[in-house]
């Protein structure tokens, strides 16, 4: 009897067939990966917009309680303070309005933000303060180092502090030289933002009364925008330095230097200043609005609305939106 009768040879993939299947799978992955990345970025951008929306709502709730907005930052002499002064960020005063009442109760207003005690507060990571599109968030390293005298004669020694990084900041003004380059107009002294640092009496502690002082229109004046990625120094989404030091001050949400954001503009490659680029060329302090969204940056306006400002927006228009009382007409 032939035991091989009825035996059927097992089929198998040939090498060519296997290579074809691998090529098809690789092609499908190549097609799907950009789509997945786009979906992830869309979700991150939506989350970022929601953060700004809630911060804008916190400003309005604060105003309902105090009939004004918090100052961009406060700086006051205080004999009871261990440093002789106090200094606090705008975001610190919003803590009760972003569901962080306990942090605010623990924060000591009679000490500066960089005191040993307050370091425990401002190093807490708050998801509302950073954009999911920003690399390496949340984080609170490396520390900020300031040379002696940066805060004036009351600061004779170097200062070092840590802060949990945030990606949103006010624009306190437009630099006069930058204004000329970006708008083609001579600065008139009215290039102040919605949260300005200038106060006739102290130079700081300026609290804006919205109905009286934001005369260019609540819906066309930027309240907060993305200035993301600090303290890493970026140009055109490329890392230039892991810690930009004095070039990327104000990285923390509880850091008063977060509010020192004076737009100057930069060259298209993010290097020199002033220049015609105002969005996404560099995140160096006092240069651009900056985000990791490929198309531009998110911003919350004074009426609480959130909009995406594209990177090809006309610099003059961005400058007009960044000022509160210049009499400029914003045509979008």
**Is residue 58 in a domain?**
yes
Instruction: Determine the structural domain holding residue 283 and report its residue range.
Output: 45-322
Question: Average of pLDDT values for 108-116?
Answer: 94
Q: What share of the chain is helix, strand, coil (3-state, %, to 5)?
A: 30, 15, 50
Structural domain count of the chain: 1
Which pLDDT score is estimated for 23? 76
**Is residue 20 in a domain?**
no
**Is residue 230 in a domain?**
yes
Q: For 57-66, b where at least 16 C-beta lie within 10 A, e where not — what string?
A: ebbeebbeee
Does position 12 have pLDDT exceeding 70, yes or no? no
Give the pTM.
0.87
- State the helix-helix crossing angle for 176-183 and 315-322, rounded to 10 degrees: 140
Contact at 8 Å (CB) between 281 and 288? yes
**Is residue 17 in a domain?**
no
Contact at 8 Å (CB) between 191 and 173? yes
Please give the Cα distance from 199 to 217 (Å, whole number).
21
Per DSSP, the three-state class of 296 is: strand
Question: Average of pLDDT values for 268-282?
Answer: 96
**Is residue 308 in a domain?**
yes
Which pLDDT score is estimated for 318? 96
**Residue 244, Cα to own-chain centre: how many angstroms?**
15
Please give the Cα distance from 109 to 254 (Å, whole number).
12
Which stretch of DSSP H or E encloses residue 65?
helix 15-66
Question: Average of pLDDT values for 291-313?
Answer: 96
DSSP secondary structure code for residue 34 in this structure: H
- Tokens (6 digits) for 152: 């004036």
Does position 330 have pLDDT exceeding 80, yes or no? no
**Is residue 31 in a domain?**
no
Model pLDDT for residues 241-260, shown as the tens digit of each residue = 999 999 999 999 999 999 98
**Is residue 103 in a domain?**
yes
Please give the Cα distance from 77 to 90 (Å, whole number).
18
**Is residue 3 in a domain?**
no
Question: Average of pLDDT values for 112-124?
Answer: 95
């Amino acid at each position: 009897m032939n035991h091989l009768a009825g035996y059927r040879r097992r089929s198998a993939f040939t090498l060519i067939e296997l290579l074809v299947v691998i090529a098809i799978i690789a092609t499908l992955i190549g097609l799907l990966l950009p789509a997945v990345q786009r979906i992830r970025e869309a979700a991150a951008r939506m989350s970022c917009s929601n953060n700004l929306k809630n911060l804008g709502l916190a400003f309005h709730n604060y105003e309902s309680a105090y009939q004004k907005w918090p100052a961009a930052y406060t700086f006051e002499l205080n004999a009871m303070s261990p440093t002789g002064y106090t200094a606090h960020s705008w975001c610190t005063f919003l803590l009760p309005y972003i569901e962080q009442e306990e942090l605010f109760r623990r924060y000591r207003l009679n000490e500066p933000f960089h005191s040993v005690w307050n370091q425990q507060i401002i190093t807490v990571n708050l998801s509302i303060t950073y954009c999911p599109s920003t690399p390496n968030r949340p984080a609170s390293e490396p520390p900020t180092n300031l040379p002696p005298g940066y805060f004036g004669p009351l600061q004779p020694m170097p200062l070092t502090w840590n802060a949990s990084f945030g990606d949103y900041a006010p624009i306190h003004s437009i630099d006069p030289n930058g204004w000329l380059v970006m708008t083609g107009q001579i600065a008139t002294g009215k290039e102040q933002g919605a949260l300005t640092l200038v106060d006739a009496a102290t130079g700081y502690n300026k609290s804006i009364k919205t109905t009286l002082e934001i005369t260019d229109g609540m819906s066309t004046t930027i309240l907060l925008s993305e200035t993301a990625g600090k303290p890493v120094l970026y140009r055109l989404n490329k890392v230039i330095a892991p810690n930009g030091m004095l070039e990327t001050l104000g990285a923390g949400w509880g850091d008063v230097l977060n509010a020192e954001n004076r737009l100057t503009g930069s060259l298209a490659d993010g290097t020199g200043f002033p220049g015609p680029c105002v969005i996404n060329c560099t995140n160096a302090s006092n240069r651009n609005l900056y985000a990791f969204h490929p198309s531009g940056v998110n911003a919350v306006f004074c009426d609480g609305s959130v909009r995406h400002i594209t990177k090809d927006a006309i610099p003059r228009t961005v400058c007009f939106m960044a000022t509160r009382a210049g009499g400029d007409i914003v045509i979008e």
